[in-house]
Amino acid sequence: MHRYLLNRIGQLLFLLLFILLTASVSLGKTATDFDTNRARLLGHMIQKQLTQHHYSQKKVDDDFSFAAFDLYLKQLDFQKRFLLKSDVEQLEKYRSYIDDSIRRGRLELPELGRTLLNKRIEKVRLLTAALLEQGFNMERDEAFETDPEKVDFLASEDEQKDLWRKILKYQVLIRYLNLYEDEVGVDDEGKLLDAEPKVLAELMEKALEKVKKSHETLFTRMQEETKQDHYDRYLNAITRAYDPHTNYLAPNLKEDFDIQMSGSLEGIGATLSEDDGYIKVVRIIPGSAASRQGELESDDLILQVAQGADDPVDITDTRLRDAVTLIRGKKGTEVRLTVKKPDGHRMVIPIVRDVVEIEETFVKGTTVIDKESERVFGYIKIPSFYRDYNGGTGRNCTADLRKELQRLKKENITGLVLDLRNNGGGALSDAVSITGLFIKSGPVVQVRGGEGKIRVLDDNNREVEYDGPMVVLVNRFSASASEILAGALQDYGRALIVGDEHTHGKGTVQAMLNLDRELKINGMAKYMPLGAVKVTIQKFYRISGESTQERGVTPDIVLPSRMDGLKSGEKHLDNALPWDKIKPVAFDRWEMGADLTKLQEHSAKRISATGKFKEIIARAEKAQQRREETLQSLLMSKVLAEREEVRLLNQKQEGMSPHGEMGGETLAKDDAEEKDSEPPTLNETIAEDPYVDEGVALLQEMIGPQS
């Protein structure tokens, strides 16, 4: 009752504030005009929804304000290329006042931030034009720091000029070398062919002109960001201070939420997000154009977008919806993405847009025959926990998996490899029901709300579809429902979990709250639509009592991964909710009948003797070295050496499987066009996959020698 009265008093006070302010509302505003009163209402609504519904019940105090300010400053100028220290010092005055500002409807921080940023953008625009006009000394041995975490904001305009000189010099150098390769060519070893000085001078002029054009487009796009766009991003920084999965979605940005260029939408087939000034690949849709092309991966940063052979457009610091507009397009057209890989190297990825082949998102299975023992093993890939709620296909992954298990049992399989790698989750109900296909009955997962109420989701079907030995493959991109399934099978002792050192660690549930439906203050309908808030409302816990949040699931057998050393996963996200425990629930463990210690020892011996895993370990170490070496040389000879190193690395990566590791035969150039229309079969995909091979080896050991 007390809380209700406080909320009601707050609403009445806020309504009074609006009555006093409405006299200043000008008539005849267009839909794109920024309405100060609407902005104040929006801030009030968001704060109210988060306070009432967020799982953490976090206090909106100075600590909260500090977290929100840090996120706001990051999204304002993540790379620290525009704002000076003096600008940041002005903004810092509001660091502890964001909580008060939201409550009182004050907009000083976002207004000041936008004003300062736009002033610096215009100055940098003029600065870069002058620098490009002057040209650069390509023989000067110098470098610049590419990791914004290692540098502070610039102290003066002179420092800013020097930084942009180096940035532009590097971009011109890269564009020059690309033009050199395209127009002059390379020899059989990939080395640049000799060219006349006149030709080289012409190439440099072209490179300067192209970089100039690219930056004109970038600065124009940045300056076209409206006051409302900027305020929406400020609100999103505030919501993310709760946790990384709580977001504000403006009415015209709902397409940004879990944007999937798939289904009936023609595009490349990727889920993208806006991440501190970059456009980041969150997930590749199975069966999509990007999936079939094979080079674009989760955690890649998209830096530039080109339509076919046209000049690329820089999309750093671009709004997600603008980037999506550039990337999306009609079936059959080509888009060329310049991406930065997690290990730091860059590459251009050409993708021919298409409609996603939905069939490729469904459960698929096959058999693997061990040549020595002649035993038959089953392999099943679950790309996602899909469930059609709209009556289209009517399919769901539980029913499809049951059918596949029944088919494989007719093949007399003696063990099963269940592949959850790169499975980002989906329907919670299917995580529970799929677990039930492998156990007699019992609890599968616990769900806790912010108020502390715990609900246990059980499998009540005593039928077991498959009761043989199992290995479950996971990696860093196995998340949410995948972690529930893997965690349950591990807790029951029903399967051996094998893969990366941890899964993603997303153990939370979000709900979408439509702010228009939550608007209870009379007379405020004129400010609709207000958008929505995606808010974290629940947390998952394993039946052992451990949360899957932050830590994910730790495999029983950890295998080398090329992602080793990469800060990837929930625990590396700003303001991620912490791992914790609740009481376990009673359940009956399955007797696996294998000595885990011996399995781990024997697996380690096989890994050390396997060439493919040796290559993966070497690549992981090299990638870690590249991540640590963040100083970018601007000397032509050193940049050429870096390009040669990347070229050799890419040659080794041509045999990559869709799972992101070595596997599959590399197609000959002459066969590539013919094979493009015929995606590889599941057997071809896993034929050279060392993780599947190790899964089979573990199953062999779990079963024991043949009698």
Looking at the annotation, which residues are catalytic? 480, 491, 506
Residue type, 227: K
Distance CA 435, CA 433 (A): 5
The two structure tokens encoding residue 540:
């998952």
Distance CA 16, CA 23 (A): 12
Give the residue among 314, 325, 413, 403 at the shortest CA–CA distance from 364: 403
Calculate the CA dihedral of residues 569, 611, 692, 671 and round it to 10 degrees.
100
Strand, coil or helix: what is 513? Answer: strand
Residue 406: partners with Cβ closer than 8 Å, 6 or more residues away: 465
Task: Measure Cα distances from 597 to 147, 376, 557 in Å.
Answer: 41, 25, 10
Q: DSSP letters of 529-569?
A: ---EEEEEEEEEE-TTSBB-TTT----SEE---TTTT---S
Residue type, 599: L
Give the residue among 256, 240, 277 at the shortest CA–CA distance from 117: 277
The three-state DSSP-derived secondary structure of 631-662 is: EEECCHHHHHHHHHHHHHHHHHHHHECCCCCE
> What are φ and ψ of residue 163, in 5° steps?
-65, -45
β-strands 346-352, 334-340 pairing = antiparallel
> What are φ and ψ of residue 381, in 5° steps?
-105, 125
Distance CA 336, CA 59 (A): 46
